[in-house]
Amino acid sequence: MTDKITDTVSAVDQTFLLIFIMAAILFIGIAVGMMIILFRYNHKRHPQAATFKGSIPAEIIWIVFPTLIVIGMFISGWKSYLTSRTPPTGTLDVEVTGRKWSWSFTYKNGLTSDILYVPANQPVFLSMKTLDVIHGFYAPAFRIKRDLVPGLTTTLWFLTKEPGTSDIMCSEYCGVGHSSMHTTIVVLPQEEFDKWYASGKSPEAEEEGRRVYTTHGCSGCHSLEGTEGVGPPLDKTYGSKIAVTTKEGEKTITADEEYLRRAVLDPDVEIVKGYQAIMPSLKGKISDKELDELIKFMESLPAKNSGVAADSHAEGKE
């Protein structure tokens, strides 16, 4: 433990270590005391129960000592709480948006990503909101967790250390796609982060269509690697034959540009067979230019000759 708490990790770890040590001491003390009493005062040695008088010093000890322990734990916990709620100066400010079932991160220069990129050794301040239900932003490596509540903006901060990657999860059950609502914090060297930040592109050089895919939450339900999720994967969708369910019954259609537009704006009209009709319409939420870019992006993905695949109904497109 350090004399001065400098970040959320050391703050939480200090309190946890104090509680763990005190719990271990009390457990060992109580267990050893019980063993001594069982051995020394067993029935064979003392067939007749003895009467003991009260002890004022003992009562004072077991009242005062636990009280001091609890006060010490409270002080340590309070300091940790103040540390987690009081960001230092010189932070990198990032807006976090949670939705079913994805995260998006927006920087001051307008750059948006579904991965949280941050520079090493610089504190990061997160301003967080949700577009639907309660979500919980949880990054265990940095000992931070805060709920995103509808209608409120919540905040937290953390201090990065060395370059690397760590997980972000949702800690509040938020529906059928809750388990897939995860992403990563990627800590980059300062020079690499500055280059990425100035370029306006992610390290993967995301094109505009991919940015729309990220910004509107498509990644929360639809993968680009063929992985089944809440919604069908988007790769190999364009040009494929898709079995869908409509009000008139089941039919097979081709995933052309017209279909993709219907899937985004009127997702309940044609539901991909085997999936639920849970995707909300993006009508009025996505601009014509963004929709064009999204469709171009989907058309650029590998084509599929047969099988079921589509972007027709998962709620991740909020």
Cα–Cα distance between 52 and 65 in angstroms, integer? 23
Looking at the fold, whether 60 and 105 belong to one and the same domain comes out as no
User: What pLDDT, on the 0 to 100 scale, is given for residue 302?
Assistant: 62
pLDDT tens digits along 239-272: 778 788 877 777 787 878 787 888 888 777 778 8
Do 111 and 192 have their domain in common?
yes
Residue 307 pLDDT greater than 60, yes or no: no
Residue 203 pLDDT exceeds 60: no
How many domains would you assign to the chain? Answer: 3
How much is the pLDDT for 201? 57
Residue 78 tokens read as 């309070």
Residues 145 and 191 in one domain: yes
Among 69, 85, 101, where does a domain finish? 85
In a domain, 273, yes or no: yes
Instruction: Count Cα neighbours of 54 within 13 Å in the Cβ-side half-sphere.
Output: 5
Q: Are residues 99 and 201 in the same domain?
A: yes
Same domain, 198 and 117: yes
CATH number at residue 42: 1.10.287
> Beta partners for 107?
94
Q: Is the peptide bond before 101 cis (omega within 30 degrees of 0)?
A: yes
What's the pTM value of the predicted model, to 2 decimals?
Answer: 0.60
pLDDT, tens only, 271-304: 887 777 777 777 777 777 777 777 777 777 765 4
Of 177, 206, 235, which residue sits at a domain end? 206
- Structural domain range at position 125: 92-206
Q: Are 205 and 111 in contact (CB under 8 A)?
A: no
